[in-house]
Structure 1
Amino acid sequence: MKKLMSLIFMAVLLTSCEEVVDVDLPGVDSKLVVDGLLRVKKEVEFIDVRIGLKASTDFFEENLPVQAESVMISYGKPNSEGNFDNLSSSSLVEETSGSGIYVPDPDSLSDQRIPTSIAEPGTVFMLEIHYQDKYYFAQTEYVSTVPLDNLEQGDEVFFDEEQTEIIVTFTDNGEEDNFYLFDFMSGEFQTVEDEFFQGQQFEFSFFYDDETDPGDVVTVSILGATKEFYNYMDLVLQQTGNGNNGGPFQTPVATVRGNVFDLTGLENVTNLDNVERPNDYALGYFAVAQEYSRTIIIE
Structure 2
Amino acid sequence: MKKWFLYFLICAIPLTGCEDVIEVDTPSEDPRLVVEGLLRVDTTQRWIPVEIKLTQTSNFFGTIEPVTDVDEIIIISQEIDENGLPNGGTGTSSLTQLDPGSGIYVPDPSFDRDQRIPVSAVLEANIEFTLVISWRGRRYAAQTRYVPAVPIDTLVQGDKTLFEDEETEVIVRFTDDEEPGQYYLFDFGFANFLPSEDTFYNGQQFTFSYFYDEIFIPGTALEISILGADQTFYNYMDLLVEQTDGAQGPFQTPVATARGNVFDVTNLDNDEVVDNAAQPNTFGLGYFAIVQEFKSTLIIE
If the length of structure 1 is used for normalisation, what is the TM-score?
0.92
User: How many residues matched?
Assistant: 296
Match of 2:32 in 1: 31
TM-superposed deviation, 1:6? 4.5
Between 18-27 and 216-225, report the one with greater CA deviation. Answer: 18-27
1:151 pairs with 2:155: yes
Distance 1:104 1:212, change over 3 A: same
Match of 2:293 in 1: 291
TM-superposed deviation, 1:176? 3.5
Which structure 1 segments of 5+ residues have no match? Answer: none
1:138 pairs with 2:138: no
Match of 1:162 in 2: 166
Q: Deviations over 1:221-276 (max 9, x none)?
A: 000001100011111111121141xx111114101100010010211155533522
Match of 2:268 in 1: 266
1:78 pairs with 2:57: no
Q: Distance in 2 between matches of 1:230 and 1:292?
A: 17
Q: Distance in 2 between matches of 1:269 and 1:43?
A: 34
What is the identity, as a one-letter code, of the residue corresponding to 1:114? I
TM-superposed deviation, 1:219? 0.5
Match of 1:192 in 2: 196
Match of 2:98 in 1: 95
What is the identity, as a one-letter code, of the residue corresponding to 1:292? F
Provide the alpha-carbon RMSD of the alignment.
2.4
Q: Distance in 1 between matches of 2:168 and 2:4?
A: 54
In the alignment, is the contact (CA less than 8 A) between 2:81 and 2:126 conserved in 1?
no
Q: Distance in 2 between matches of 1:207 and 1:104?
A: 37
TM-superposed deviation, 1:123? 2.1
In the alignment, is the contact (CA less than 8 A) between 1:41 and 1:292 conserved in 2?
yes
Distance 1:249 1:8, change over 3 A: closer
**Mapping of residues 1-299 of structure 1, within 5 Å:** 6-12=7-13, 23-67=24-68, 68-81=70-83, 82-120=85-123, 121-210=125-214, 212-244=216-248, 247-268=249-270, 271-273=273-275, 275-299=277-301
Q: Distance in 2 between matches of 1:59 and 1:160?
A: 34
Which structure 2 segments of 5+ residues have no match? Answer: none
Distance 1:203 1:18, change over 3 A: farther
Q: Deviations over 1:13-66 (max 9, x none)?
A: 686799997744222331100001000011111000000000111233331111
SS of the equivalent of 1:166 reads: strand
TM-superposed deviation, 1:161? 0.5
Between 124-133 and 261-270, report the one with greater CA deviation. Answer: 261-270
